[in-house]
Amino acid sequence: MLRRALQKSSRKKMCTVEKKKDSISVDERTIPMDLVSQTPTVCGKRMRRSFNTIDKTIGQRRKLSEEHLDKLDRRVESRDLITQLPEYIIHHILSFLDDTKDAARTSMLSRKWRQIWTSFSVLIFDQHKIQQQDGRQDIRNMKKVFTDFVDNSLKNHLERKLSIQKLVLHITRYDLELAPHMEQWINIAIENNMKELDLHVVKKSKRYKSPPTVFASKTITGLRLHGCMLKSHCDIKLPKLQKLYLRKVSVDQQIIDNLISSCPLIEDLRFIHCTGLKVLRVSGLLKLDRVEVHHCHGLEEIEVKAPNLQTFWYCGKESMHCKIDLVACVSLKRLTLEDGNMTDEMFQDRLASFPFLEKLDLSKCNKLKNITISSIWLRRLVLRGCKNIVDVDIDAPNLFSFEFKGDKMPFSFTNPLSLKEAKFSFEPVHIRSYNHLGGEDALWFARLRKLLEKLKHSNGLKLVVRSRKNVIIHENLEEILLPPQSDLKLEIIKPSIGLEDLLDNLLRTWHPEILSVVSSPCSEFPKLVHEKMMHRGENPNCCTYNTRNKCWRHFLKGVKIENIEAAAGKRTFGWIPWLKSSPTVLHQTTSYRLSWESVERMVGKWRMMRLYA
């Protein structure tokens, strides 16, 4: 009777019914059997009611699914922040891309980005990249490809009546044949009220002469010239210029005087590897905020008179003897010096001229030996590569960040209570026994011990001890273990770096045989290390970029837990508890023995996989 009722009902419904163990399929819809009567005496009328119930249930489910999808779409749209960005911010993001083709690829992000990139007002043309993408070998054809590409791009841009915010020309194969094209492109951009010009010319024999229209623009606010030639008699009138960067440009004092007198709004002035300049004098620029001079051969004197100058950066070789006068820059806050000829007396005189200095960076100042750094405003201090320095007395009660890199430990703090961030990278210390140290080594370790004891108030500082085969991460400075190695290297990590980032950065550049973590028994760091090591996967898919830049997970071949200890004073792998705050404080040491694949072997493996993919 059930079969007859089903047949009758199926003819009326014009549908296919398939009986299953716990469900019935109706027009490819699966319905639980509990919605259909399983009594053998069911009649056609009851079956019709059952199918009506089924259709009603399916309709309700469809309605709920559609409502759920609508809500999900609205939720996704509300969280699509990249589409909601204002147009000027999207243009700012696009300005960081290398070339126009990269900007075009962003049209895949959304409909709004597809519309905006076409109005992108920053035009970047890199000759090497454009010719490389074309793939032609003949030099003449390669140049034609580049000139045609720039011509067509500018034509399309102007046909849409779009302005040009910035023009970037990166020329790697310059010759006289290309010069008129470059002048035409620059003039077109200037006629369309260009605000920034970045002209980079890799010179082979002859330099490119910048067209005179560049120095007569009423709209340019930023000018970057690399490998160009400036004429001394050039008439300069740039009333809105704020940033001027000259790199590998031949200049003289007359050009500088012309620039200063005709560009009163300059805020940022930089000279990098420039020639022809013996004396650099800058004055009369009330808005000047930053001055940089890097490796300008032949420069003998620098004099800057700018009462509102905030940043000064000088880099010179030991063979360059340059006198620097910044006495009039009383508002200076950031000073960076790489001066191999600066003596102790010269440094002390300069430092005394800047009462409001907040950042001091000294690099490769090899004539410094005994100096005192005393300032109540100093917040950040960097000492890097000053190889002959013997003693540095630091009296900076508000010092927040300190970074040191060198083969000795010459510094001492009067009062480091405000120090919250520190990074000390010492060159390998050759020791064999901490109980039998020589005179210099004993002084080195005594200073380090004293410093670490003073830094215990800085919560979150982490110490990394490295040797050729071992890495020990100390989560705090309460107890420190040192391996009996002859190539010891120590680094104190600032607390703003998270433990996970610390581990990733360390293993990316260092593949130790033994990795150990010294922490308190209640710390979560050993658990984090264990999870990252043991659950990394055999073929991690975390990195999709260049094979040589893959993270440590792709090189780690095997992991073995060596020991987990939580006892005071116990030695691990012969390591010595060199500094301990209290014998009653317990610390846990977790160690892992790691095996690694060589970089060359893994790169070869990835190349073969890509070849046969």
- Structure confidence at residue 2 as a pLDDT band (50, 70, 90): very low
For range 521-543, the mean pLDDT: 77
Q: Which residue has the higher pLDDT, 543 or 146?
A: 146
Across the chain, which distance is largest between two alpha carbons, in Å? Answer: 113
Helix-strand-coil split of the chain, %, nearest 5 = 35, 25, 40
> What's the burial of 375, exposed, middle or buried (CB within 10 Å: 0-12/13-18/19+)?
buried
Q: Whose CA is closest to 533, among 496, 505, 559?
A: 559
Residue 181 has pLDDT above 50, yes or no: yes
The burial class, CB within 10 Å (0-12 / 13-18 / 19+), for 317 is middle
Could you give the angle at the alpha carbon of 139 between the alpha carbons of 135 and 142, nearest 5°? 45
pLDDT digits (tens, 9 = 90+) for 11-20: 444 444 344 3
Residue listed under structure tokens 């005192």:
372
Average pLDDT over residues 363-381: 94
Q: What is the pLDDT of residue 208?
A: 83
Per-residue confidence (pLDDT) for residue 99, from 0 to 100: 55
Q: Are 406 and 386 in contact (CB under 8 A)?
A: yes
- Are the C-beta atoms of residues 5 and 43 closer than 8 Å to each other? yes
* Model pLDDT for residues 103-126, shown as the tens digit of each residue: 666 666 666 666 665 556 788 888
pTM for the full model?
A: 0.71
Angstrom CA distances, 291 to 251, 266, 288, 313, 476, stand at 16, 10, 8, 6, 41
Q: What's the confidence (pLDDT) of residue 27?
A: 39
**315-354: pLDDT as tens digits:** 998 888 899 999 999 999 999 999 999 999 999 999 999 9
Q: Write the DSSP assignment of 493-527 as a string of letters.
A: EPTTS-HHHHHHHHHHH---SEEEEEE-TT-SHHH
CB of 204 within 8 A of CB of 174? yes
Contact between 395 and 372 under an 8 Å Cβ cutoff? The reply is: yes
Whether the CB-CB separation of 26 and 14 falls below 8 Å is answered with: no
Q: Which of 53-67, 513-527, 584-598 has the lowest mean pLDDT?
A: 53-67
Residue whose tokens read 């045989």: 513
Summarised one tens digit per residue, pLDDT across range 267-323 is 999 999 998 889 999 998 999 999 999 999 889 999 999 999 999 999 998 888 899
Query: Which string of DSSP letters, residue by residue, matches 536-575?
Result: S-SS--S--S-GGG--GGGTEEEEEEEEEEE-TT--STT-
Contacts of residues 82-88 at CB distance under 8 Å and 24 or more positions apart, as own/partner, are 82/109, 82/110, 82/113, 83/109, 83/110, 83/111, 83/112, 83/113, 87/116, 87/119
**For residues 238 and 223, is the Cβ–Cβ distance under 8 A?**
yes
Answer with the residue of higher pLDDT: 147 or 243: 243
Q: How do 514-519 and 588-596 pair as beta strands?
A: antiparallel
Instruction: Give the torsion sign (CA, 133, 134, 139, 143).
Output: negative
Closest CA to 34 of 48, 44, 20: 20
For residue 196, is pLDDT > 90?
yes
Q: Are 602 and 546 within 8 A, CB to CB?
A: no
Between 207 and 269, name the one with better pLDDT: 269
**Distance between CA 273 and CA 154 in Å, rounded?**
32
Q: How confident is the model at residue 504 (pLDDT cuts 50, 70, 90)?
A: confident
**pLDDT band of 40, cuts 50, 70, 90:** very low
Under 8 Å between Cβ of 223 and 236: no
Residues 368-377: contacts with CB within 8 Å, 24+ apart? 368/342, 368/343, 368/344, 369/344, 370/344, 371/344, 371/347, 372/348, 375/351
377 pLDDT band (50/70/90 cuts)?
very high
Res 66: pLDDT: 53
Helix (H, G, I), strand (E, B) or coil at 320: coil
Measured CA to CA in angstroms, residue 478 lies from 122, 420, 473, 483 at distances of 54, 16, 12, 17
pLDDT at 10: 47
For residue 39, what pLDDT is reported?
40
pLDDT of residue 572: 47
> Is pLDDT of 488 > 50?
yes
Quick one: three-class SS letters along 592-608? EEEEECCHHHHHHHHHH
Cα separations (Å) of 336 from 218, 316, 357, 380, 381? 34, 11, 11, 11, 10
Residues of the chain above pLDDT 70, percent: 64
User: If DSSP codes are grouped into helix, strand and coil, which group holds residue 353?
Assistant: coil
Highest mean pLDDT among 29-38, 55-64, 507-516, 579-588: 507-516
**pLDDT digits over 491-501, tens only?**
777 777 777 78
pLDDT of residue 81: 66
**Which of the residue ranges 269-273, 274-278, 415-419, 443-447 would you say has the lowest mean pLDDT?**
443-447
Query: Is the distance from CB of 303 to CB of 281 less than 8 angstroms?
Result: yes
pLDDT band at 442 (very low <50, low <70, confident <90, very high): low
- pLDDT: is 248 or 415 the higher one? 248
CA distance 128 to 139: 12
pLDDT at 453: 75
Amino acid letter at 369? Answer: K
pLDDT of residue 46 exceeding 70, the answer is no
Q: What is the CA radius of gyration of the chain?
A: 35
- Of residues 65 and 188, more confidence is placed in 188
Which residues make Cβ contacts (< 8 Å) with residue 186, sequence separation at least 6? 167, 169, 197, 199, 211, 213, 214
Query: What are the CA-CA distances from residue 470 to residues 55, 481, 483, 571 (Å)?
Result: 69, 12, 8, 15
Q: Which two tokens stand for residue 283?
A: 């004055």
Q: Which residues sit opposite 338 in a β-bridge?
A: 315
Q: Are 415 and 454 in contact, with CB atoms under 8 Å apart?
A: no
Question: Which residue did the predictor score with more confidence, 313 or 597?
Answer: 313
Whether the per-residue pLDDT at 130 is higher than 50: the answer is: yes
The arithmetic mean of pLDDT across residues 124-129, rounded, is 83
> What is the token pair recorded at 190?
């200037």
- Quote the mean pLDDT of the chain: 75
**Comparing 467 with 97, which gets the higher pLDDT?**
467
Amino acid 429: pLDDT: 56
Q: Which pLDDT band, with edges at 50, 70 and 90, does 530 fall under?
A: confident
